[in-house]
Amino acid sequence: MVMTLEADYAVRIVDVLAQSDQKVDARTISMRTQVPLRFALKILRKLVAGGLTVSYKGAHGGYALARSADKITLRQVIESVEGPYMLSRCQQDEYSCTHTTSCRFQEIYDEISLLVRKKLDSYTFAALRERAAPCRKDKKAP
């Protein structure tokens, strides 16, 4: 399973804002994160709507975190662009299951999803600042 590109970009964008002591304009965010400007603006709108960032209009406008980096978790950022984390679509309320008997997998999926949500909640952007590590582009998935 791979996180969507949009969620990955959202994490990068919030990380740039968490490392800045002042507002950052969209073009600078785009350059620092290597996210295309149009896509960065789309994600920034979602982050603003989710209450994670604030936008400032005008010639000296830009974006900043809506609260301190120690109050923003990886889960909040990912879910602001993707919606609630779920391992399977059968966990969605609106999903109509075609099984005629109860599904023995849904409980397992719920348990795994809860573990992932808790783990993502355990990482704040303030804590991540201290975990600087090089990007492992050559690392192979198991």
Q: What is the CATH number of the domain that holds 50?
A: 1.10.10.10
Q: What is the pLDDT of residue 21?
A: 82
- Domain boundaries, position 100: 5-129
The answer on pLDDT for 93 being more than 70 is no
Asked, for residue 139, whether it belongs to a domain, the answer is no
Mean pLDDT for the stretch of residues 89-118: 72
3-state DSSP assignment of residue 76: helix
Q: CB neighbours (10 Å) of residue 84?
A: 11
Mean pLDDT for the stretch of residues 2-6: 88
Confidence of residue 94 (pLDDT cuts 50, 70, 90): low
The answer on pLDDT for 137 being more than 90 is no
Residues 6+ apart with CB under 8 A from 69: 18, 124, 125, 126, 129
Question: pTM above 0.85?
Answer: no
The answer on pLDDT for 80 being more than 60 is yes
Domain count, the chain: 1
Output the six-digit token pair for 68.
Answer: 């301190």
Cα torsion 16, 18, 24, 30 to 10°: value is: 20
3-state DSSP assignment of residue 121: helix
Number of residues that make up the chain: 142
Mean pLDDT for the stretch of residues 90-109: 64
Q: What is the pLDDT of residue 85?
A: 81
Q: What is the pLDDT of residue 91?
A: 56
Asked, for residue 17, whether it belongs to a domain, the answer is yes
Asked, for residue 142, whether it belongs to a domain, the answer is no
Mean pLDDT for the stretch of residues 87-100: 59
Confidence of residue 107 (pLDDT cuts 50, 70, 90): confident
Asked, for residue 12, whether it belongs to a domain, the answer is yes
